[in-house]
A and B are shown apart, each in its own frame.
Chain A
Amino acid sequence: MNPLHALNEVRATDRAKENLRAQLTAARARQTHPRFFPTRPLALTACAAALALCAGGVWAWRSPTAYISVDVNPSVELTLNRFDRVIDACGYNEDGIEVLSDLPITGKYYTDAVDALLSDTDFVQYLGKDCALTFTVIADDIETLQTGLQSCNGYQKYDASSYASTAECREEAHHNGFSFGKYEAYQALCQVGGSVSLDECRDLTMAQLQQEIKACLGHGSAPQSEFDDENCEQPSASPGHHGADHHAGD
């Protein structure tokens, strides 16, 4: 006799077998006809929507919509996104590059960025009594941006001026190695018959450029007597529109 004969009593009952067959049938049906999960397309749609939102958000954040050129002697340009946040800050002369090297303003709201810039120790040293702090703006809504700039702490304190420019002028300015704010002033000088070359312009402060313009208009005398007599050098690209009175009239 098998010493383990007691195991004969261990059997799968009919109901257990029935239950097993039902499980196998259900499993077979699941494998043959995969269950349709209505949540799957929904989840996929939600994921796609979330991805699209993220991509859209990144695109919206990174897309430039406005530019501010801040010029004294240092020339810096701020690139703003549609949320009026600074997404790029670039110096367009040696002083501008140096000022920005220790000034993290990327990501800040533009008025906060300008406040930070105008209170920066390096930048403040250029804001003397006779400085000409100028803001030049390219935007769809220039007025709003200029109003914001005028509310900045240093704007009134340093008797700043603000002007408008165009994307074409900015492109031309960059082509010639200028910030578009300073290039606007240079163009204004050319229009009133100024005799400053592009290379000479690089060494002039905004205050000196404005004095040149005033001198040409007969409102004063040019301090830079060493300038040669050649006519204003034509820039390498066609000039954009800008009014000399803008820069000379303040």
Chain B
Amino acid sequence: MKTERETDRAVELYADLVRRICFVHLKNQYDTEDVFQTVFLKYMTHMGTFESADHEKAWFIRVTLNACTDWLRSLTRHRHLPLELLAEEPAAVAADTGGVLAAVLALPEKYRDVIYLHYYEGYTAPEIAALLGRRESTVYTRLARGRALLKTQLGGEWE
């Protein structure tokens, strides 16, 4: 089990990343809290070691995406979020950021993830393929189709 120091460091480093993936993947901001906690609990009990910071970051991305998928599949929602925390959520993020983010959030899940990882996190297609456990060609296809959908919706506003 990871020490308190290790988990504190991970919270500082990856809390924003996990929160963003949750937000992009789940859309419902209130649902992100459960996955947020699940990911860090998994990290705390993770027995393996990370070869590098990139390896660790990739682990967080992969675990968060899986946790989001699991969460969406689960029918029972257990919320442990104190009510006062909800008030601090960036509730109007999607509404305030114009059409781009809203359009990305409206994409089908398989396009949304690769668009986010490529455009926001800066991963290349081969890296995304390794992260998601997909073939590179699949990632390229999804990126192209995601981009096409965004262009259709946003026109010149995209890129």
Question: A interface vs B, CB < 8 Å?
Answer: 2-4, 6-7, 9-13, 15-17, 19-21, 23-25, 27-28, 31-32
Q: Is the interface of A mostly helix, strand, loop or mixed?
A: helix
A9: which of B12, B37, B90, B100 is its contact (CB, 8 Å)? B90
B18 touches A24 (CB 8 A): no
A24 touches B7 (CB 8 A): yes
Chain B positions 73-126 with a Cβ under 8 Å from a chain A Cβ? 80-82, 84-85, 88-90, 93-94, 96-98, 100-101, 104, 115-116, 119-120
A15-B85, A21-B7, A28-B4 known, 17 other contacts, Cβ within 8 Å: A2-B120, A3-B119, A4-B115, A4-B119, A6-B93, A7-B20, A10-B20, A11-B15, A11-B16, A11-B19, A11-B20, A13-B85, A16-B36, A20-B37, A25-B4, A27-B44, A28-B44
Q: A4-B104, A17-B11, A19-B82 are in contact. Are A11 and B90 (CB under 8 A)?
A: yes
A24 touches B41 (CB 8 A): yes
Assembly CA distance A13 to B18 (angstroms): 12
Q: How many residues of B contact A (CB 8 A)?
A: 42
Question: B interface vs A, CB < 8 Å?
Answer: 1, 4, 7-8, 11-12, 15-16, 18-20, 23-24, 33, 36-37, 40-41, 44-45, 80-82, 84-85, 88-90, 93-94, 96-98, 100-101, 104, 115-116, 119-120, 158-159
A4 touches B7 (CB 8 A): no
For A17, what are the chain B residues with a Cβ–Cβ distance below 8 Å?
A: 11-12, 15
Q: A17-B11, A27-B41, A28-B1 are in contact. Are A7 and B88 (CB under 8 A)?
A: no
B97: which of A6, A19, A20 is its contact (CB, 8 Å)? A6
For A23, what are the chain B residues with a Cβ–Cβ distance below 8 Å?
A: 37, 40-41, 80
A10: which of B19, B82, B88 is its contact (CB, 8 Å)? B19
B36: which of A4, A6, A12, A15 is its contact (CB, 8 Å)? A12
For B104, what are the chain A residues with a Cβ–Cβ distance below 8 Å?
A: 4
B18 touches A12 (CB 8 A): yes
Assembly CA distance A237 to B58 (angstroms): 88
Assembly CA distance A12 to B11 (angstroms): 9
B85 touches A16 (CB 8 A): yes
Q: For residue A30, give the distance in angstroms from its CB to the closest CB of chain B.
A: 11
B41 touches A16 (CB 8 A): no
A10 touches B93 (CB 8 A): yes
B24: which of A7, A9, A28 is its contact (CB, 8 Å)? A7
For A12, what are the chain B residues with a Cβ–Cβ distance below 8 Å?
A: 11, 15-16, 18-19, 36
